[in-house]
Structure 1
Amino acid sequence: MHWAEKIASQLIEMHPEQQAFVCASGISPSGSVHIGNFREIATTYFVSKALEKAGKEVRFIFSWDDFDRFRKVPNHVDPGFERYIGLPYSKVPCPFGCHSSYAEHFEQEFEQALMAFGITPEFIYQSREYQSRRYNPAILQALCRRGEIYDILMSFKTGEASAEDRAAFYPVHVYCEQCGKDSTTVVDFDDQAETLTYTCTCGQHNTVSVPEAAIIKLHWKIDWPMRWGMEGVACEPGGRDHSSETGSFNVASVISAQIFENKPPYYVPYEFISIKGSHAKMSSSSGNHYTPADLLKVYTPENLLFLFAKYQPNAAFHIGMDEDVLRNYAEFERFREAYPSPALPEEKKAALELSMHHVTEAKAPSFSQVSGILPLVDFDFELLKEIMARNGGGHNEELLQQTANRAEFWIRQWVPQRMITVNTEPDIAYYQTLEPGEQEWIKDFCSLLRREGMDEQELMTEIYAICHDKDKKIMKNNQKRLFKIIYQFTLNQQEGPRIPVLIQVLGAGQLLDLLDFS
């Protein structure tokens, strides 16, 4: 059983009478949402689909924490934006002048990427929720029970509690009515009058009615459990940083039960994803990340979702844009080709079904094959289409074009070493370095090129026979060596497209010009 189906089964077992489930995730729009953050929403998406498959109704919500304070200017944003630190993200101007706010810019960027995956949660914008005063009764409740909240928070810390700190503790941030920032200090709360008094470094001093205020926000570890109860959340994932023994989830769970009297949701901890070759954590502010939109220029949405679905949430993995791309495509294409064979492992079958809307829909052509041919034809789509038609054909032209676009972008942007230049002159010096037996292989290969009427299977059988040896291990190594020699003579490198494709693209005549030394 797939891990998402196990979680769905456990949820149903925990709530046998429940027909509808709320699955939640959320992110702060501090910058471009990266692929590490995407694991949270992908995890929620898979559990939601598994619940629906089990016949349950699902409300899949995604919270934008855009009432959080703007903490740090990302590397790709004008350093002058430092003057906005302390404002809520929803009040910071768009750094690129194309949206109404900083928050909206990065929210829209991510929401558009999600559409490509077919992921359509109900988006909740916390700046609107807080300013609508929907949460004010819960804020008032937290303020009235602030001493108990302080005790809970301190029970998870190694530092000692003090009566003085307890009396001065308030579980809220206040955005100043004058400067708009949270550079404020709460100096008093009157639980009888239900008023809060604050001062700000800008000079503001005011008393506000808590039930009417639109400038107060709960601290994160109180805000999170408050929203669990408000939305009736049954399941929510959280990153490794929230999942330790003294982490946010365990703290919030106690606050949820003791202060808001709500049972915490089923929690799915997930590991971080890393960029291959980098030991640094992905970060929106540092720019050390891939966004979903970045990866969609190379991967199909289905392939990316499959990559996330095949790993348990608590398993770390990395994403690279090197030759790993070919390996990830090959794995996805292999399993999809095998679907729905009984030989296909159930977990992989489920991962495919969770990653795709319809597993039986038209298949895209092989990414490896397309990326191998494109440089040989100088990225000419019409020539690519012609060669692909001769090698099996039947490809949907739109899917072929999409695959070609992704392959070209990948080659030009990430693996320029795959830009192939066909040799124009025979390399006599290299030929002279070959062993006599290897020279004979090339002569035999040229003889095959002169023969006509062989189909691909016959041709490859004859080519493999050139290197025949009783010892199968030696024969296999000889065959690999032959192909490397052919690629060196034709492309001046050690690898290339499949030999039949190379013959089709260059033609037997051009190959003979480069390989015939008789």
Structure 2
Amino acid sequence: MHWAKRIASQLIQNHPERQTFVCASGISPSGSVHIGNFREIVTTYFVTKELVKSGKKVRFIFSWDDFDRFRKVPTHVDPSFEKYIGMPYSEVPCPYGCHSSYAEHFETEFENALSAFDIKPEFIYQCQEYKSTRYHSSILHALKNRMEIYDILTAFKTGGANEDERSSFFPVHIYCEVCKKDNTTVQQYDEQNEMITYCCKCGHQNSLSIRQATNIKLHWKIDWPMRWKMEEVLLEPGGRDHSSETGSYNVSRVISEKIFKNPPPLYVPYEFINIKGSYAKMSSSSGNNYTPIDLLNVYAPENILFLFAKYQPHAAFQIGMDEDVIRNYMEYERYRDSYGSPSLTSDIKEALELSMMTDMGMKIPKFNQITSLLPLINFDTKLLKDLLYRDGEDYPSEMLEQIAKRAENWIKLWNPQKLITVNECPDHAFYGTLSLIEQEWMKAFCRILKNESIEKEHLMEEIYAICQDEDKRIMRNNQKRLFTIIYKLTLNNNEGPRIPLLIQAIGANKLLHLLEFDK
């Protein structure tokens, strides 16, 4: 059973009376949302799909924590933005001048990426929620129970409780009404009149009616369980850093039970994703990351979804932009072509179904074939379509253009060594290193190129027959060697497109010019 179906089944078993299953995820818009964060929302998404398949009504929510404080200036943002540290993301200006705020810029960027996957959660913007006064009763409840909250928080720390610290503890942040920052200290709380007095490092001081204030926010470990209750959340994944014994989830779970009298949701911890060749944790602020947009420039959406669906959430994996891209495409294409076959495991079949965005019966171009052809034809997609059509492969223009663009991005941005070109002159030096048998192979191949009477469908039979041998293993090795020699003499490379396509892309006359040494 696929992990998403197992989690969905567990939710249904745990809540047989529940009419609507609320599944949540969320993040602070601290910068470009990377694929490590994407794992949270896609984990939730897969479980919601399984719940819907089981006939359940689902509410899939995604919270933007844009009322969190701006903590650090990312590497790609002007260093002058340091002056905004301490303000909520929703109050920080857009670093690129194209949106109303810092938060909106990165929220819009990620939401646009999600639309490419057809992932459509209900977005909740926490700045709006806090300013709407919706949480005021919960803030008052937390303030009333602040001593007990302090004791819970302290129980998860190594140091003991401090009575002075306990009496001065307040589970809220207050953003100053003048400087907009959270450099504030609560001076007094009047529980009877529901008033709170604060002072700010900027010199401002004021008393606020909690029921009317729009600049008060609960601390994270209180805010999280408060929202679980408000939204009736039954499932929420989280990174393994939140899953430790003293991590945010375990602290928030106790606060949820003891303070808000609400059972915490099922928690699905997920492992971090690493960039191949880097041991540093992905981070929005450091720039050490891949975003969903980065992947979408190279991968089709269903390939990316499959990559996440095939791994258990607790399993770590790496993503690279090197030859792993080819391997990932080939794996997905192989499984996709085998869909419906009894040889396909149930886990892989279900992972394909969760990732499915196109008809599984529709034939799609092979990415590796496209990448090997494009540089030879100067990335001309019309010529590409014509070459494939002449080889018996006909694809819709829009589909072919999309995959050709991804292949071009991958080659030009990540693997420029793939920018192979056709040799201008015959490589006499390399030809001289060939054995007499290998030179005879090349003469036979040139005779086939000159023989216009050979039907296209029989071309490869004739080429394979060049290396005929009674020992099948030797014959396969010889055929592989023959193709390597052809690629080396024509492209100065050990690999290339399938031989029929190579002939069409370069032309028989040009090939003869490069391969015929004994004229």
With normalisation by structure 2, the TM-score equals 0.97
* 1:185-220 alpha-carbon deviations (Å, 9 max, x no partner): 112222222221211101112221222211111111
In structure 2, what is the equivalent of residue 408 of structure 1? 408
The residue type paired with residue 345 of structure 2 is P
Q: Distance in 1 between matches of 2:273 and 2:301?
A: 17
Deviation per CA, 1:343-363: give whole Å up to 9, x if none: 322111111111124534644
* Paired residues for 1:114-263 under 5 Å: 114-263=114-263
- Aligned residue number for residue 310 of structure 1: 310
Cα deviations by residue, 1:289-312 (Å, 9 ceiling, x for unpaired): 111112111111111111111111
Moved more, 291-300 or 259-268: 291-300
More deviation in 189-198 or 401-410? 189-198
The amino acid that maps onto 1:303 is N
Q: Secondary structure at the match of 2:394?
A: coil
Matches within 5 A, 1:313-324: 313-324=313-324
> Is the CA contact 2:388–2:501 (under 8 Å) kept in the aligned structure 1?
no
Kept in 2: contact 1:353–1:359 (CA 8 A): no
- In the alignment, does 2:342 pair up with 1:342? yes
Aligned to 2:79: 79
Q: Residue 110 of structure 1: SS of its match in structure 2? A: helix
Q: Is the 8 A contact 2:385 2:394 kept in 1?
A: no
| Cα drift, residue 113 of structure 1 | 0.9
Query: For 2:446 and 2:433, how far apart are their aligned partners in 1?
Result: 18
For residues 42-53 of structure 1, what are the structure 2 equivalents within 5 Å? 42-53=42-53
Change (3 A) 1:456 1:286: farther
Matches within 5 A, 1:248-397: 248-360=248-360, 362-397=362-397
Partner of 2:446: 446
| TM-fit CA distance, 1:236 | 0.5
Q: Where do 5+ consecutive residues of structure 1 fail to align?
A: none
Contact 1:271 1:314 in 2 (8 A): yes
Match of 2:228, SS?
Answer: helix
What secondary structure does 2:25 align onto? strand
> For the residues of structure 1 that align with 2:445 and 2:325, how far apart are their CA atoms?
32
8 Å Cα contact 1:352-1:359 kept in structure 2? no
Q: Is the partner of 1:234 in helix, strand or coil?
A: strand
CA distance in 2, matches of 1:493, 1:25: 47
1:14 aligned onto 2:32? no
The TM-score normalised by the length of structure 1 is: 0.97
Distance 1:17 1:396, change over 3 A: same
TM superposition shift of 1:399: 0.4
Quick one: which amino acid aligns to residue 403 of structure 2?
T
| CA distance in 2 between partners of 1:342 and 1:481 (Å) | 35
Map of 2:100 onto structure 1:
100
Percent identity of paired positions between Structure 1 and Structure 2: 66
**Shift, 1:458, TM fit:** 3.3
Instruction: Provide Cα deviations, 1:1-47, integer angstroms capped at 9, x if missing partner.
Output: 11101000000000112221000000100011111111111001000
Q: How far is the alpha carbon of 1:472 from its aligned partner?
A: 4.0
Taking the aligned partners of 1:363 and 1:188, their CA distance within structure 2 comes to: 69
Q: Comparing 363-372 with 269-278, which one deviates more in the overlay?
A: 363-372
Task: Report matched runs for 1:491-506 at 5 Å.
Answer: 491-506=491-506
Residue 457 of structure 1 and its aligned partner are, at CA, apart by: 5.6
d(CA) in 2 for partners of 1:172, 1:152: 15
Partner SS state of residue 196, structure 1? strand
Between the aligned partners of 1:14 and 1:401, the Cα distance in structure 2 is 47
Q: C-alpha separation between the residues in 2 aligned to 1:415 and 1:158?
A: 49
For residues 15 and 443 of structure 2, what CA distance do their matches in structure 1 show? 73
* 1:266-301 superposed Cα distances (whole Å, 9 cap, x missing partner): 111101111111111111111111111121111111
AA of the residue aligned to 1:221: K
1:326-371: CA deviations, max 9, x gaps? 1111111222222223332211111111112453464432211111
Name whichever of 11-20 and 361-370 sits farther off. Answer: 361-370
**1-side partners of 2:330 and 2:252: how far apart?**
43
- Could you tell me how far apart the structure 2 residues matched to 1:154 and 1:490 are? 71
TM-superposed CA distance for 1:231, in Å, is 0.1
The one-letter amino acid paired with 2:164 is: E
Return the alpha-carbon distance in structure 2 between the equivalents of residues 5 and 41 of structure 1.
Answer: 16
| Cα distance in 2 for residues equivalent to 1:487 and 1:180 | 64
Residue 400 of structure 1 and its aligned partner are, at CA, apart by 0.8
Q: 1:361 to 1:120 in 2, by over 3 A?
A: farther
After TM superposition, give the deviation of residue 388 of structure 1 in Å. 0.7
1: CA distance between counterparts of 2:135 and 2:187? Answer: 22
Q: Which residue is equivalent to 1:64?
A: 64
* Partner Cα distance (1:5, 1:299) in 2: 25
- Paired residues, number: 518
Change in 2 beyond 3 A, CA 1:122/1:317: same
Instruction: Give the secondary structure class of the aligned counterpart of 1:212.
Output: coil
Match of 1:26 in 2: 26
> What whole-Å deviation, never above 9, does each CA across 1:361-399 have from its counterpart, x for those lacking one?
644322111111111111112211111101223311110
Tell me by how many angstroms 1:455 deviates: 4.6
Q: Please tell me whether the aligned partners of residues 174 and 217 of structure 1 are also in contact (alpha carbons under 8 angstroms).
A: yes
